[in-house]
Amino acid sequence: MEDSRPSVRLRAALAVGTAPGPGFIGKLVERCAIEPDFSVREMLTWALTRHPASLTVPALVREVRSERAQARSQALHTLSKIGDRTAWPAITRALLADSDDEVARSAWRAAVALVPEDEKPGLASALSTQLGRGGRETGLSLSRALIALGGEVMAQALRAAATDPDPRVRAHALATERLARDPDSGFEFAIKEAKRAAVLDGPGQEG
């Protein structure tokens, strides 16, 4: 896994996932924090999912508190793939609002995958504070997370955000509502139409 060639590191991660053992977990987690190649990182995550959650989850939970953004992001991504809800308490509001977009996006996906039913309203509220943030990919990730929550918790959060004084927040909330109703409409179209409605109508009005 220290080889300079990504193809060699990829094969090493594949081998570890194919024949998992507790002794590999620390190295896999450590490598996730520094691995530059996306395909290799995905294989590292897959290899971790092949190990018992009772061993991997505690190591990954420690990693989400790392000072290194990639370590936090990849640990959150891996937790979302493992799907063990004992990791839910590690998904803090600070992570959901992380200043690094990749970390925040990973936190949103992990939160939606791990949230207990009775925690969904609080999660929807926390996610709605990030509306209007970032560029296309970040905005789309947040919309998808809110839509994945679904139901009345999503609807309430979006209704509240649709009255926000910030037109970017209103537009993002309206675009998410449109996407939830019509997933085939496309995010760019939804956000364009929602921006027009948010600017013309102002807060507190129907878009």
130-161 pLDDT, tens digit per residue, is: 999 988 899 999 999 999 998 899 999 999 99
Q: Are residues 38 and 22 in the same domain?
A: yes
Calculate what percentage of the chain has a pLDDT beyond 90: 78
- The pLDDT assigned to 207 comes to 38
pLDDT tens for residues 60-96?
999 999 999 999 999 999 999 999 999 999 999 999 9
CATH of the domain at 18: 1.25.10.10
Same domain, 130 and 109: no
Q: Domain boundary at 68, 97, 114, which?
A: 114
Domain shared by 127 and 97, yes or no: no
Q: What's the total number of domains in the chain?
A: 2
Mean pLDDT of the chain: 91
Whether 66 and 130 share a structural domain = no
Taking 80 as the threshold, does the pLDDT of residue 198 lie above it? Answer: no
Mean pLDDT value of segment 176-203: 69
11 and 96 co-located in one domain: yes
Q: Which helix (H) or strand (E) holds 174?
A: helix 167-181
Looking at the structure, do residues 135 and 181 belong to the same domain, yes or no?
yes
Task: Give the model's pLDDT for residue 205.
Answer: 46
Task: Write out the residue range of the structural domain in which residue 175 sits.
Answer: 122-207
User: In the prediction, which pLDDT does 206 show?
Assistant: 43
User: Residues 142, 177: one domain?
Assistant: yes
| Residue bearing the bigger pLDDT, 202 or 207 | 202
105 in the same domain as 141: no
Report whether 114 contacts 85 (CB < 8 A).
yes
Question: Is residue 48 located within the same domain as residue 108?
Answer: yes
**22 and 108 together in one domain:** yes
Cα(163)–Cα(49) distance, integer angstroms = 42
How far is residue 140 from each of residues 2, 71, 103, 119, 144, measured CA to CA in Å? Answer: 35, 23, 15, 23, 6
- Residue with the larger pLDDT of the pair 197 and 182: 182
Which of 114, 145, 171 is where one domain is finished?
114
| 78 and 96 co-located in one domain | yes
Q: What is the dihedral of CA 57, 72, 179, 147, to 10 degrees?
A: 30
In this structure, are residues 139 and 191 in contact, taking their beta carbons and an 8 Å threshold?
Answer: yes
13-45 confidence digits (pLDDT tens): 999 999 999 999 999 999 999 999 999 999 999
Q: Is the pLDDT of residue 197 over 90?
A: no
Q: ∠ CA(72), CA(76), CA(79), 5° rounding?
A: 140
Residues 3 and 93 in one domain: yes
Q: Which whole number is the average pLDDT over 188-199?
A: 64
Q: Are 48 and 28 in contact (CB under 8 A)?
A: yes
Q: Is the pLDDT of residue 59 over 60?
A: yes
